[in-house]
Amino acid sequence: MVEQPERAGISRKWLLIVAGAAGGAVAIAAMEWFSAFSEFPLASIPFATSIVLVMGSPDAPPAQPRALIGGHLVSALVGMSVLAVAGPHAWAAAMAVGLAIVAMHATRTFHPPAGINPLLIVTNALPWSFVVVPVAAGALLLAVFAWTWHNIGREKNWPNQWW
């Protein structure tokens, strides 16, 4: 009889993993649809790794809304600032990523997948509108999707903390 609770725990764990994986697949499909519909290049939408983190490890501190939304916004703003000062150079992109790491830590918005934003912004000389769409809009939509997905039939609500 001792093994049954362990099996139940293992089964519940795998159920949550599969549910997160299904949510990740749905979110990626939505991102691909948005890319095709808006004619925005999929490679320029910086959310694939954020989706994996938020859907696959929803309890991790970097998967919480403050980190998800704030990290993407902070890192994108750092990228735009570096681009404005230094231009679209490889060394500037590298510096922007490093500065974004510092800025995310300083603002308590550390979200490792957001490190792609300054790289994309600087290397592609993206316009300021990139901060609004896809970065801000995408991060907000991902947070809403994750909240909806993770709270369907789940005993514990996501997120652990909003801000």
Q: What is the pLDDT of residues 90-109, one digit of tens each?
A: 999 999 999 999 999 999 99
For residue 81, pLDDT over 90 is answered with: yes
For residue 38, pLDDT over 90 is answered with: no
- With respect to residue 39, please indicate whether it lies within any of the assigned structural domains: yes
pLDDT at 25: 95
- With respect to residue 155, please indicate whether it lies within any of the assigned structural domains: no
Structurally, the chain folds into a number of domains equal to 1
Percent of the chain with pLDDT over 70: 93
- Indicate the range of 29-43, 69-83, 95-109, 114-128 predicted with least confidence: 29-43
- With respect to residue 161, please indicate whether it lies within any of the assigned structural domains: no
Rounded distance between C-alpha atoms, residue 70 and residue 42, angstroms: 22
pLDDT at 4: 58
For residue 3, pLDDT over 80 is answered with: no
- With respect to residue 97, please indicate whether it lies within any of the assigned structural domains: yes
- With respect to residue 66, please indicate whether it lies within any of the assigned structural domains: yes
Give 34's pLDDT tier (boundaries 50, 70, 90). confident
For residue 80 the two structure tokens come to 């735009």
- DSSP per-residue letters across 78-127: HHHHHHHHH-S-HHHHHHHHHHHHHHHHHTT---GGGGHHHHHHHHHT--
In this prediction the pTM is 0.89
Convert the pLDDT of each residue in 126-151 to its tens digit: 999 999 989 999 999 999 999 999 99
Convert the pLDDT of each residue in 108-119 to its tens digit: 999 999 999 999
Rounded distance between C-alpha atoms, residue 88 and residue 94, angstroms: 11
- With respect to residue 158, please indicate whether it lies within any of the assigned structural domains: no
- With respect to residue 41, please indicate whether it lies within any of the assigned structural domains: yes
**What is the domain range of residue 44?**
3-150
